[in-house]
Amino acid sequence: MIPAANIAAAVGQASCLSFPGLLARRTSPRAAGWKPSARQARCLSYFSDLPGQLRTGLTVERAGVDTERFPEIETVPNDPTGALNSYTPGDVLRIYGNDLKLNPADPAQGVFFRGASGPEVRATRYVTVTDGQILVLVPAALTGPQALMVRTRSGVNQRQTTFDTVLTQGWFSAMR
């Protein structure tokens, strides 16, 4: 593999790479006193016609950066039992993942549960909310299998993710 510095030297541009002895951003490496090693000289001779090859039939498109960040749920352990993918009504549920930070005061954001039949239920008590973890109190009225969703907001856009595993109701009672 040929180092990127050699390719940049072959086309005579040092605008985004650094070479020993270069201080000006638009100075060619050779004009700035850069002397290639024997290996670099071979690479330069190999790429001597690179600018002409690049101009022939070249189409340049901007490859934008995807800045859209969506919440991602990785694991959901039940806090009192430690069991994965289960919940205990009225107790704490841990949600680990990425980009989970939300505003608990915003009713459009939060942790939501949806049973097989019935409306969505939004969790109202949050213990911890960070980018990587949410500790939430599961509503005491939940029963049966539940789909878990996390909704966040990025600027004016709302983001939602649904955990790929349906949570089952744990056997541990919240009354200790």
CB atoms within 10 A of CB 146: 25
Residues 176 and 171: their CA atoms lie apart, in Å, by 13
pLDDT in tens, 86-98: 999 999 999 999 9
Task: For residue 47, give the DSSP letter.
Answer: T
Is the pLDDT higher at 13 or at 143?
A: 143
pTM to 2 decimal places? 0.60
pLDDT in tens, 26-52: 445 555 566 666 666 665 555 555 555
Mean pLDDT confidence for 129-141? 94
Angle at 29 between CA 27 and CA 30, to 5 degrees: 110
Residues 158 and 108: their CA atoms lie apart, in Å, by 8
Domains along the sequence of the chain with CATH: 4-55 (no CATH), 72-169 (2.70.50.70)
| Alpha carbons within 13 A on the beta-carbon side of 133 | 8
Task: Quickly list DSSP for 87-154.
Answer: E-TTSEEEEEEES----TTSTTSEEEEEESSS-EEE--EEEEE-SSEEEEEPPTT--S-EEEEEEEEE
